[in-house]
Every structure is written in C-alpha cells, then in structure tokens.
C-alpha cells in the first residue's frame, strides 16, 4: 500500500478551522467593538428625550399663559363686546397652533405634512357639519317666528 497525503476535504476542513480560530483570536484580543457615535446630536436618544421634554414644557407654559389671558379678558372686562370676542377667538387660534406644534408635533416639515393635511381635512369636515347644522337651525327659527 502506498501512503497518500491527506485528502482535499481534510485540507479544506483544516484550513477553515484555522481561519476560524484566527478570526476568533483576533476578535477576543481586540475587545468589544467601539460604540458608534451618533452622526448628529439629534440621533442621540437622550438628546431627543430632552428636546421633547423641553417642547412639552414650553407648550405647557404657553397654553397656560394663553388660557389665563383669555380668562382675564372676560373676567375683568378689559375689552367689551365684539372686541373681547375677537380677542378670545384670536387667543384660541394661537392656542390651537401651540397645541399642534408642541403636543402633537405637527409642523410644516415634509415628514409631518400628511398629518397636517389629515387634520386640516378633518377640520373642514367638522366646520361643514357645524355650519350646515346652524343653517338648518336658523332656518327653522325663522319659520317658527
């Protein structure tokens, strides 16, 4: 019998095993991979949480100030009649914008435009329903007089 060297399969298995051991040794000696730094400060979760809390705090203070302003206009009669009504409606509109921006995070960026369009469409539908109801009720009132 003649002795032959190791077969191709055996050589291949030994090479793969050696490569695996070398790779394992390098991975262990190098230690854990370094943590990737966020590309921007906004990508950091702590920064995002702090920014959200700041936005909520600003929104809360603005909503409180606008509510107190409307309440004080009516309570202490700083304005009369239609002027007071106009001021209160103006403050309500500003407060709605504050709520959309600070609490619902709706702004004019491209990522939030779909949400903004949905809210505007819902507002249009509600305004049409309320307006139609008022037209019908005033028409009935005129017919009853």
- What are the sequence ranges of the domains in the chain? 46-105, 109-145
Q: Which of 1, 20, 18 is nearest to 10 (CA)?
A: 18
Which portions of the chain are predicted below pLDDT 50? Answer: none
Confidence (pLDDT) at 30: 64
Rounded Cα gap, residues 66 and 81, in angstroms:
19
The pTM assigned to this predicted structure is: 0.59
Q: Rounded to the nearest 5 degrees, what angle is found at the Cα of 41, between the Cα atoms of 38 and 43?
A: 55
- How much of the chain, in percent, has pLDDT values that exceed 70? 82
Q: Which residues have C-beta within 8 Å of that of residue 31, sequence separation ≥ 6?
A: none
């Amino acid at each position: 019998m003649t002795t032959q060297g190791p077969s191709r399969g055996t050589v291949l298995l030994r090479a793969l095993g050696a490569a695996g051991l070398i790779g394992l040794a390098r991975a262990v000696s190098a230690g854990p991979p370094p943590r990737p730094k966020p590309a921007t400060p906004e990508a950091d979760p702590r920064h995002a949480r702090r920014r959200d809390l700041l936005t909520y705090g600003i929104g809360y203070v603005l909503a409180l100030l606008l509510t107190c302003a409307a309440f004080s206009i009516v309570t202490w009669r700083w304005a009369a009649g239609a002027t007071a009504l106009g001021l209160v409606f103006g403050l309500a509109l500003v407060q709605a914008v504050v709520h959309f921006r600070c609490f619902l995070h709706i702004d004019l960026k491209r990522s939030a435009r779909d949400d903004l369009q949905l809210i505007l469409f819902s507002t249009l539908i509600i305004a049409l329903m309320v307006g139609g109801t008022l037209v019908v009720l005033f028409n009935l009132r005129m017919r009853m007089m």
